[in-house]
Structure 1
Amino acid sequence: MRGLKVLPSGRPGRGRLYVNLPDGRAVAWYDRQTNRISVLADDRREEILRVLRPYLSGTVSIGPPPVPTAADLRRLALPPDEDLAPNRPGEGLLGELEHGSAGTRARHRLRQDLTAQQRMGEVLDALPESQGWRALHALAVPGVGSIDHLVLGPPGVFCVLSVPGRRQRAQVGDLLLTVGRAEPRPDPRRARLAARYAARVLMAPVTPVLALVDATRVEVAPSVRDIRVLQPPTAAPYFTTAATTLKPPDVEALYVLARDHRTWRRPAAR
Structure 2
Amino acid sequence: MNGLRVVPVSRHGQERLYVCLTDGSNIAWYDREAARINLIRDDRREDVLEALRSFVTGPVAVGPPPVPTPAELARLSLHPDDDLAPNRPGEALLIDLDRDPPPAHRLRTDPRRRALAAERTVGEALDRLDGAGWHTLHSVPLPGGDRVHHLAVGPAGLFAVHAVHARRQRVRIADPMVALGRRAPEPLLRRVRADADRASYALTAEVHPVLALVGPAEVTVTAPPRATRILTDAGLPDLARLGGVLKPADVEALHAMARDRGTWARV
For the aligned pair, the TM-score class normalised by the smaller chain equals 0.7 to 0.9
Q: Distance in 1 between matches of 2:77 and 2:167?
A: 43
1:186: which partner in 2? 187
Change (3 A) 1:194 1:35: farther
User: In 2, are the aligned partners of 1:144 and 1:194 still within 8 Å (CA)?
Assistant: no
1:99: which partner in 2? 99
Which segments of 5 or more consecutive residues in structure 1 lack a partner in the other structure? 1-5, 17-27, 43-56
Write out aligned runs for 1:193-208 (5 A).
193-208=194-209
Q: Distance in 1 between matches of 2:204 and 2:29?
A: 29
Q: TM-score, normalised by structure 2?
A: 0.76
Secondary structure in 2 matching 1:170 = strand
Change (3 A) 1:225 1:93: same
1:159: which partner in 2? 160
Write out aligned runs for 1:115-154 (5 A).
115-129=117-131, 131-143=132-144, 145-154=146-155
User: In 1, are the aligned partners of 2:102 and 2:110 still within 8 Å (CA)?
Assistant: no
Q: Deviations over 1:166-199 (max 9, x none)?
A: 3110112222211000232332111111100000
Secondary structure in 2 matching 1:67 = coil
Secondary structure in 2 matching 1:126 = helix
Q: TM-score, normalised by structure 1?
A: 0.75
Secondary structure in 2 matching 1:243 = coil
Change (3 A) 1:31 1:91: farther
How far off is 1:82 after superposition? 1.0
For these two proteins, the number of residue pairs brought into alignment is: 231
Secondary structure in 1 matching 2:209 = strand
How far off is 1:235 after superposition? 1.2
User: In 2, are the aligned partners of 1:173 and 1:188 still within 8 Å (CA)?
Assistant: no
Change (3 A) 1:112 1:191: same
**Partner amino acid, structure 2, of 1:33:** E
Write out aligned runs for 1:1-270 (5 A).
13=13, 33-34=33-34, 58-59=55-56, 64-101=64-101, 104=106, 108-129=110-131, 131-143=132-144, 145-236=146-237, 238-265=238-265, 267-268=266-267
Rg comparison, structure with higher value: 2
Q: Distance in 1 between matches of 2:29 and 2:135?
A: 18
Q: Deviations over 1:231-266 (max 9, x none)?
A: 111110x2121111111111110000001111111x
Question: Percent identity of the aligned residues?
Answer: 44
Q: Deviations over 1:67-119 (max 9, x none)?
A: 22221221111111111111110011111122215564786200100000001
Change (3 A) 1:29 1:149: farther
Q: Distance in 2 between matches of 1:258 and 1:62?
A: 33
Secondary structure in 2 matching 1:221 = strand
How far off is 1:223 after superposition? 3.4
How far off is 1:122 after superposition? 1.0
Q: Distance in 1 between matches of 2:30 and 2:79?
A: 18
User: In 2, are the aligned partners of 1:136 and 1:150 still within 8 Å (CA)?
Assistant: yes
User: In 1, are the aligned partners of 2:176 and 2:225 still within 8 Å (CA)?
Assistant: no
Change (3 A) 1:255 1:143: same
Q: Distance in 2 between matches of 1:173 and 1:33?
A: 47
Secondary structure in 2 matching 1:136 = strand
Change (3 A) 1:61 1:233: same
User: In 2, are the aligned partners of 1:121 and 1:149 still within 8 Å (CA)?
Assistant: yes
**Partner amino acid, structure 1, of 2:248:** P
What is the alpha-carbon root mean square deviation over aligned residues? Answer: 2.9
**Partner amino acid, structure 2, of 1:66:** P
